[in-house]
A and B are shown apart, each in its own frame.
Chain A
Amino acid sequence: MSVVTLVIDGHDVAGQSGQSILSVAREHGIAIPTLCHLDGLSEVGACRLCMVEVRGARRPLAACVTEVQEHMEVTTTTDELTDYRRQIIELLFTERNHVCAVCIANRHCELQDLAKALGMTHFDLPALNPSAGVDASHERFGIDHNRCVLCTRCVRVCAEIEGAHTWDVRGRASEARVITDLGTPWGESPTCTSCGKCVQVCPTGALFEKGRAVAEGKERRPYVPFLVARNRRS
């Protein structure tokens, strides 16, 4: 690992070769909004909220999947980037049925927090209002696709940490859905270990534990990095 020096938002910072812009920025206290990223899981660049401007690049780059390079000049916040981020949040809200008032994750939701942080007061796009469906066949957990933002944290935590790989994504664009065991109802899944990691890492109320009421929330345990660290030691 060699040391790489670069400039982020006018600050001289140092990282290691192979490290992402996002990781180096956060180590230096520079905030970049994210949704699909979760410390301890692989990066997929699914949500695009962490897009930053890199001098010389023709388009914004996702900070989570772009490695730092010597003499790189990165800008994390411009009016244009903020505008893109607001558009992403608007698309996510209007693509499915995000009704905060009756959601289990109300006030514990990363999508809701991002909307507030980006100063969203309303959406100009008309809502699609799809019938996205709910799978409540599992004894302890449920998934409400109306609230899913396709971050794929559930897919990754299940495959990478639990090692079960129960979750996957089926379909494309607005038809895309996270699925269990190639479309088997979750309750009949032969691979699910009922560990609940997918529920823990879900940023919205899409994955939930049964028996919890509106806004009763989801426990937030940032334990994935600890599991990763333990895996590496053993």
Chain B
Amino acid sequence: MAKPRLATIWLDGCSGCHMSFLDLDERLFDVFARAELVYGPLVDAKEFPEDVDVTLVEGAVSTEDDLRRVREVRAKTKILVSLGDCAVTANVPGMRNPLGPKAILETAYASGVTGASAAPSEWVPALLERVQPVHAVVPVDVYLPGCPPSADVIAEAIDQLLAGQLPDTAHLASFG
């Protein structure tokens, strides 16, 4: 039987959840003995592949690019995992929601220290009006809150996912 295909993706987050994933340390050998890592910041692959079994999504949906990518990932993944508070609640990226993207961009660029007269309009994706958790835009199968979820929590969840089970994360992980 072919190994399950595992992917990770980094939307609007600080990469702390990926760091926590790396904190599996020697347990990563077990994970990669059981699964093939086919996409993510830790893999040199340009396009998100077809037929992925499990994708861990870090980060909130903040830009048009985040939205396009998470929809593509959802279409090509059997089990989608919201990894960490940004993916689950919008968390820190969502703190701009009470202000709106226009005010944020003006503060960061036009009146900021960069010397720019306005926010960049090309090469960077446009901000969405509201930062949203992943499950607000695509269906999510497993929620793993935490900022970040600890390596132990991620290890436990991955262990069950690679065994073909949906982990019950209700008493495994918590916010913050």
Q: Which 7 A-B pairs have the closest CB atoms?
A: A100-B176, A119-B170, A101-B147, A129-B97, A121-B143, A116-B174, A131-B98
Cα distance A89–B170 in the bound complex, in angstroms? 14
Closest to B169 in A: A121
Looking at the complex, which of A50-58, A102-110, A156-164 is the stretch in contact with chain B? A102-110
Cα distance A115–B94 in the bound complex, in angstroms? 19
Q: A100-B147, A121-B145, A124-B135 are in contact. List 5 more A-B contacts (CB 8 A).
A: A120-B170, A122-B143, A123-B133, A131-B99, A215-B176
Q: Which residues of B contact A116 (CB under 8 A)?
A: 171, 174-175
Cβ contact within 8 Å between A97 and B98: yes
CB contacts under 8 Å to B, within A90-105, are 93, 97, 99-103
Q: Which residues of A contact B70 (CB under 8 A)?
A: none
CB contacts under 8 Å to A, within B74-91, are 82, 85, 88-91
Question: Which B residues have a C-beta under 8 Å from some C-beta of A?
Answer: 82, 85, 88-92, 94-95, 97-99, 130, 133, 135-136, 140, 143-145, 147, 169-171, 173-176
Cα distance A103–B143 in the bound complex, in angstroms? 21
Q: Which residues of B contact A107 (CB under 8 A)?
A: 176
Q: Which residues of A contact B85 (CB under 8 A)?
A: 100-101
Interface of B, secondary structure class, is loop
Q: Total number of A-B contacts with CB less than 8 angstroms?
A: 68
* Contact sample, A vs B, 29 pairs, CB 8 Å cutoff: A97-B94, A97-B95, A99-B94, A100-B85, A101-B85, A101-B91, A101-B92, A101-B147, A101-B176, A102-B95, A106-B176, A107-B176, A109-B176, A116-B174, A116-B175, A119-B170, A119-B171, A121-B169, A121-B170, A122-B82, A122-B89, A122-B133, A122-B143, A122-B145, A123-B89, A127-B89, A127-B97, A130-B98, A215-B176
Q: Which residues of A contact B95 (CB under 8 A)?
A: 97, 99, 102
Interface of A, secondary structure class, is loop
